[in-house]
Amino acid sequence: MLFLDAGSSSFSGSLSLEEKRLFQYIDEHQDEFVQNLAEWVAVESDSIQPQLRGEVTRMMKIAAARLQDLGAKTTLVDIGVQQLPDGQNISLPPVILAKLGEDPLKPTVCFYGHVDVMPAKIEDGWKTRPYILTEIDGNFYGRGTTDNKGPVLAWINALSTYINLNIDLPVNIKFLIEGMEESGSNGLEELIQKEKDCFFSNVDYIVISDNLWLTTKKPALTYGTRGNACFSVEVSGGEKDLHSGGVGGIINEPMSDLIALLDSLVNSSGCILIPGIYDDVIPLTEEEMKQYEQIEFDLQEYKANIGVKKILYDTKEEIFSHLWRLPSLSIHGIEGAFYEPGIKTVIPSRVTGKFSIRQVPHMDLSKVEHQVKEYLENVFSKRKSPNKLMVSMQMGAMPWVANIDDPQYEAAKKAIKRVFNQDPDMIRDGSTIPIARMFQDITEKSVLMFPLGAADDGEHSQKEKISRSNYINGTKVFASFLLEISKLHKELQKASNLKTVT
């Protein structure tokens, strides 16, 4: 067997015999773990394009079979249908609920992950084929490698290591794995509500492993994410597309109306122009400012990681607050627009713009929806266009902030220290895990986000990758986390029992 050293792992302190065995096994079984990742990446489980829904369902079945192989009691739960914008209904992929171990003396950790991915086509500019895992210079390129198949597999690898070494699992494990995260986690809230007093009743800790570190070298723990409100704005004119030579200049073109509307949303400094949108955003506290100051951050490296030459802000404090504490508005695309190469002298009769607003705590989703609709209707009315405008909020997810004093943050810090020999950055993230806030609100359990990917992993982009080092050391960190959380949980229980007695 080919033995490959994952590289940057440098163990802190002396490892227990158990940890030595676990880590050695993980190092020695890298090829097998990589092969599993290649098999998962090969499934085009894109949850955005309805015609690929069958592949998402196939992916769910593959993941369920893997958990079953580990000995987990696994159920694929039907969560109903999704209504598409054209009124058609298509099945949602089933959600995996699985459990491994039911020892009442052990804590129960529930891991959440998703195995759906963002769309990826070679024509988008990929240098490698997006659904064929390709290793270049210690990095595995492919859609879903870091978001989120790699981290889900790292959990599974960690568990299979315990099982294959016959080491008693220090915790009971539950899994909730879904296939619609990238689409807004359709149907999941209802399932969590339904399972609150069943599947979740004995869960002590919920762990999500998604998003990225802030840098390429230093691990991070994430204690907050922004929400997202996704809008569509449709402008329709006559009943059919028209010849731009035949009628260009004598009608109000839907595309011109739409471009004006989209252009009215945000200025070139990134400031959202919708009146009232910042009203409920609370100012940054001094404590937050101090936390930001403590985070090491290299602006040049950050720019290189995201592949841009200039960003709107010069200081790390401004960057963090704009990513984590302030809303942002991004324009994503136009349905109905001509986008192929070449020339097409047609005036489209109906076009739909897509944009989203990442919101932060204290912003109210329905208020944002109202503000957006009122503003766009107002801008449109000023154009005196006879075309028809329709604005709708397609999806709304709430922001999430955790309590970093929860014991599992402590356990995760210890596990990181043992594997990477450094303390993690404590960060928030600008993106959204729709389910994070729902977990917290509905189950009232502690939620930890434990990212594995490095800052240059390019989630959602053409060069998505995870490094061998992060994938393999990530597997070790999760194996170690299970030991740490079980130790800490026992200590806390002992302390609380003592308190009750005295």
Could you list the residues that contact Zn ion (CB under 5 A)?
147-148, 210
Which residue number, 147 or 253, has a Cβ lying nearer to Zn ion? 147
Tell me the three state secondary structure of residue 472.
helix
Pick one of 45, 172, 209, 211: the residue that binds ligand L7UNP4BN (CB under 6 A): 211
Rounded to whole angstroms, the Cα distance separating 88 from 106 reads 46
Helix axes 365-382, 254-263, angle to 10 degrees: 130
Structure tokens at 396: 């709304």
Q: Which residue has the tokens 């999941």?
A: 188
CA gap 156, 139 in Å, rounded: 20
The answer to the question of whether 210 is labelled as a binding residue is: yes
Nearest Cα residue to 355 out of 339, 386, 374, 376: 376
Interface mask toward ligand L7UNP4BN for 390-429; x: CB under 6 A: -----x-x--------------------------------
> Of these partners, Zn ion, ligand L7UNP4BN, none, which one is at the site of residue 228 (CB under 5 to 8 Å by kind)?
ligand L7UNP4BN
Closer to ligand L7UNP4BN by CB, 25 or 111: give it.
Answer: 111
Residue ranges of E strands in 412-487: 425-429, 446-449, 465-467
Nearer to Zn ion, 142 or 407 (CB): 142
Among candidate residues 44, 46, 116, 204, the one labeled active-site is: 116
Task: Choose, from 181, 204, 429, 459, the residue flagged as catalytic.
Answer: 181
Query: CA 161, CA 404: separation in Å to the nearest integer?
Result: 29
Q: Are 479 and 22 in contact (CB under 8 A)?
A: yes
Helices and strands in the chain: count of H runs, count of E runs: 14, 20
Could you say which residues in the range 222-281 bind ligand L7UNP4BN, by CB under 6 A?
A: 228, 230
CA–CA dist 478, 483 (Å, integer): 9
Binding marks (x or -) toward ligand L7UNP4BN, 281..320, rule CB under 6 A?
----------------------------------------
Q: Residue 327 burial by CB count (10 A; 0-12/13-18/19+): exposed, middle or buried?
A: buried
Tell me the two tokens of residue 83: 């209504």
The item of Zn ion, ligand L7UNP4BN, none sharing an interface with residue 214, based on CB under 5 to 8 Å by kind, is none
Dist CA 485 CA 159 (whole Å): 15
Give yes or no for residue 182 binding ligand L7UNP4BN (CB under 6 A).
yes
* 116 in active site: yes
Contact 225, 427 (CB under 8 A): no
The tokens describing 365, both together, are: 């989703």
> Which does residue 484 touch among Zn ion, ligand L7UNP4BN, none (CB within 5 to 8 A, set by kind)?
none
293: annotated binding-site residue?
Answer: no
| 332 is an annotated ligand-binding site residue | no
Q: How far is the CB of 463 from ligand L7UNP4BN (least distance, A)?
A: 16
Distance CA 420, CA 416 (A): 6
- Catalytic site residue 301? no
| Nearer residue to ligand L7UNP4BN within complex by CB, 84 or 346 | 84
Name, in order, each residue with C-beta under 8 angstroms of 262's C-beta and a sequence gap of 6 or more.
233, 331, 353, 355
Residue from 8, 264, 431, 461 touching ligand L7UNP4BN (CB under 6 A): that is 431
Among positions 118-147, residues that touch ligand L7UNP4BN (CB under 6 A) are 147
Q: Which does 211 bind (CB under 5 to 8 A by kind): ligand L7UNP4BN, Zn ion, none?
A: ligand L7UNP4BN
CA distance 392 to 164: 51
Q: Which does 326 bind (CB under 5 to 8 A by kind): Zn ion, ligand L7UNP4BN, none?
A: none
Q: Which residue matches tokens 């294959």?
A: 164
Q: What is d(CA 478, CA 135) in angstroms, rounded to the nearest whole number?
A: 23
**Dist. CA 325–CA 502, nearest whole Å:** 44
Under rule CB under 6 A, residue 210 binds ligand L7UNP4BN:
yes
Q: Which run of H or E residues covers position 140?
A: strand 139-141
Could you tell which of ligand L7UNP4BN, Zn ion, none binds residue 184, using a CB distance below 5 to 8 A set by kind? ligand L7UNP4BN
- Of 432, 467, 475, 480, the residue at the interface with ligand L7UNP4BN (CB under 6 A) is 432
Shortest CB 177 distance to Zn ion, Å: 12
Binding mask 39-78 for ligand L7UNP4BN (x = CB under 6 A): ----------------------------------------
Token pair of 40, please?
């998962």
Name beta bridge partners: 449. 208, 222
Q: Which residues are catalytic?
A: 116, 181
Write out the residues near ligand L7UNP4BN by the rule CB under 6 A: 147-148, 181-182, 184, 210-211, 228, 230, 395, 397, 431-434, 459
Binding residues: 114, 147, 182, 210, 460
